[in-house]
Amino acid sequence: MLKPDDIEYQYVTDVTGEKTAVVIPIGIFERLLEDLEDLAALAERRDEETISHADLIAELKANGLLQD
């Protein structure tokens, strides 16, 4: 996940010098969007029941999705 110090900001200001917008590199913007999508998915699944790692492995093996 990106940290604020990882981003090079450029500010757009109005005639009084008040900051009105921020310009960031497109790659950083895309990474921020991905982070937001990940956070939204986590929030949506917050109340879902969890299973143990061992149970997941057993289920994947039973479904033929994982081999020993």
For residue 32, what is the DSSP state? Answer: H
Q: What is the pLDDT of residue 15?
A: 97
Cβ contact 24:11 at 8 Å? no
13 phi and psi angles, rounded to 5 deg: -120, 155
Look at 4 and 37; give whichever has higher pLDDT: 37
| Total-model pTM | 0.60
What local confidence, expressed as pLDDT, does residue 68 receive? 79
pLDDT (tens digit per residue) in 6-61: 888 899 999 999 999 999 999 999 999 999 999 999 999 999 999 999 999 999 99
